[in-house]
Homo-oligomer: A and B are copies of this chain.
């Protein structure tokens, strides 16, 4: 494998330059061939960045025969659409035969997709939604720093178009605040994006912005010249004449479509391949036989895809101690978020040893106090990250650290943890992360902060993310157990709660229902109360549960028996329990959530899909909320005790 020793090599030798030129030729051909044969893809940016890719893999620490080598540097390709360039270079360095790439690029079932994905050996992080890559690189750099890997570097290749995305500014600040000095970002500054010149689409003073954020800035006037680019990259590697405590950005002036005369500086080739005749011409121009195209065309046509030929990087499965459950007694009145805070603190005590690499990380967005992370912070100061009002960055960065084996908790209000950052979680989920999104303020129960702060759509949204579980504890005891469960189980989870203090759920003996012996099992609902045969069942969860329990009492007093089913596990949902309830009598769902996208809707689906005909009445939120006390809002929206009693009487 071609390698350049950065410390000893001040400039590239003519031999090295010759080798690079040969490598460039082969990779450029792959870019042309792959996109032309796939009839889609992004050749322009791939050519623009090709010099950078070739040099980086020669300079960084990696092992193609062991892509998961723990000592490797990490590289995030934020501009995932330059996959033809990346795949070509990875095959050049021996990660896989070029044939895999050239015969499978952009074909259904292959790992060689249009945007880079971890299914391809050598890829660290799936990208495609521009502007998220620097946050991902921050995450890897943070992991390396936490693990004490002093010689580990993290790289991020970005486009200049994506500098427009606000999230980039957030990631920049985080890197400076947390001293991610071994983070090197390269911006492929070709001044073109799909819509045309960056100056016409949306001007960004790229270098000024990075300087204003406190970054080291290195400028390379010709980033398609190996020697110039090498010197710039080397300076970044060694922090030569740069602030040693700060990250570096290398702004590399390049040319879109570089190397193929009729592609250069044409935005058209950002997202369009060459037709076959022009592809042959391009191959000739770089000194290769035009018939290469036809050879690969035949091979591609003859090749059948075996779906998911390449597997994902292995997900780390850290061993986490659940710690000792905290049981709140029957008389305690507290909020679930305090129980979350206490559980998280206890998990830190059980798993994060002073002086050792922490196992559990916590990320807050200017709401450490409200989301009750202060306990965790005090026990594990080095494992707590205050990201500021930068939720997009926090969501991605926290998720990325889990790919390095940390278990990360990201906590803020539901509106920011879900509504604002949905698309960030979506990409993380496609990256098979192990993030714990714990959102402490949800529903009308948020109260006086009003509709902007009342997340009433957490199920509606998170239900769409295939890898995420959704858990909504019914009281502080169940919160404790759910938080310990998610900490010790691999996979993305959303845990949501209301803001208000509430009493414990008790059994008929007046003891905590989720007591000492209770164990949380996902996909298993809790029969808090059992009615008699033919009784209706109230299905609910989370912040409405105290209202439901009071309604149960009220109904008891009236001589009306009902069952109460607590759906703490919304996804996976306990279909059997719903079926059992429906076979017994009519159903009433109650939730502090948009009525059409919550448990009511899930219940309807379960009934129909199981061919069960049963009455179902759904109470929930039918308009945006108001600013006021939760109890008043529940009354106004018809989800309070009174409304529940009435609904049962009418069912």
Given contacts A173-B203, A213-B209, A604-B604, contact A389 B107 (CB under 8 A): no
Determine the chain B residues whose CB is within 8 A of the CB of A222 once the complex forms.
none
Work out how many copies of this chain go into the complex: 2
Cα of A212 to Cα of B128 in the assembled complex, Å: 27
With both beta carbons as reference points, the residue of chain B lying nearest to A461 in the complex is identified as: B461
A124 within 8 A of B: no
Determine the chain B residues whose CB is within 8 A of the CB of A114 once the complex forms.
448-450, 453, 627
Determine the chain B residues whose CB is within 8 A of the CB of A113 once the complex forms.
448, 450-451, 626-627
- Contact between chains at A193 and B366 (CB < 8 Å): yes
- Contact between chains at B463 and A464 (CB < 8 Å): no
A-B contact pairs, 25 of them (CB 8 A): A40-B448, A107-B629, A108-B628, A108-B629, A108-B633, A114-B453, A117-B451, A127-B452, A130-B389, A161-B388, A166-B168, A166-B169, A166-B392, A166-B393, A168-B169, A193-B388, A195-B367, A195-B386, A201-B366, A211-B212, A422-B461, A430-B624, A601-B604, A601-B605, A603-B608
With both beta carbons as reference points, the residue of chain B lying nearest to A40 in the complex is identified as: B448
Determine the chain B residues whose CB is within 8 A of the CB of A622 once the complex forms.
466
User: Which A residues are within 8 Å of any B CB, using their own CB?
Assistant: 38, 40-41, 80-81, 106-110, 112-115, 117, 126-131, 161-162, 164-170, 173-174, 176-177, 193-195, 200-205, 208-209, 211-214, 307, 364, 366-370, 386-390, 392-393, 415-416, 419-420, 422-423, 426-427, 429-430, 447-453, 456-457, 460-461, 463-464, 466, 594, 596-597, 600-605, 607-609, 611, 613-616, 618, 622-624, 626-629, 632-633, 636
With both beta carbons as reference points, the residue of chain B lying nearest to A600 in the complex is identified as: B605
Determine the chain B residues whose CB is within 8 A of the CB of A162 once the complex forms.
389
- Contact between chains at B597 and A464 (CB < 8 Å): yes
Interface centre among A211, A448, A623 (most CB of B within 10 A): A448
Shortest CB-to-CB span from A508 to chain B, Å, is 31
Cα of A166 to Cα of B171 in the assembled complex, Å: 9
Cα of A522 to Cα of B117 in the assembled complex, Å: 40
Shortest CB-to-CB span from A485 to chain B, Å, is 23
Determine the chain B residues whose CB is within 8 A of the CB of A166 once the complex forms.
165-170, 390, 392-393
- Contact between chains at A452 and B427 (CB < 8 Å): yes
With both beta carbons as reference points, the residue of chain B lying nearest to A161 in the complex is identified as: B389
With both beta carbons as reference points, the residue of chain B lying nearest to A462 in the complex is identified as: B460
Contact of A128 among B449, B597, B604 (CB under 8 A): B449
Please list the 9 inter-chain residue pairs (A to B) with the smallest Cβ-Cβ separation, ordered nearest first.
Answer: A166-B166, A108-B628, A202-B388, A128-B452, A113-B627, A108-B632, A613-B613, A208-B212, A457-B464
A107-B632, A109-B626 known, 11 other contacts, Cβ within 8 Å: A41-B448, A108-B626, A128-B453, A129-B420, A131-B389, A195-B368, A202-B390, A209-B213, A211-B212, A460-B461, A605-B605
Cα of A128 to Cα of B176 in the assembled complex, Å: 28
Cα of A41 to Cα of B369 in the assembled complex, Å: 16
- Contact between chains at A177 and B203 (CB < 8 Å): yes
Cα of A611 to Cα of B108 in the assembled complex, Å: 42
With both beta carbons as reference points, the residue of chain B lying nearest to A387 in the complex is identified as: B202
Determine the chain B residues whose CB is within 8 A of the CB of A370 once the complex forms.
194
Given contacts A108-B628, A203-B177, contact A307 B636 (CB under 8 A): yes
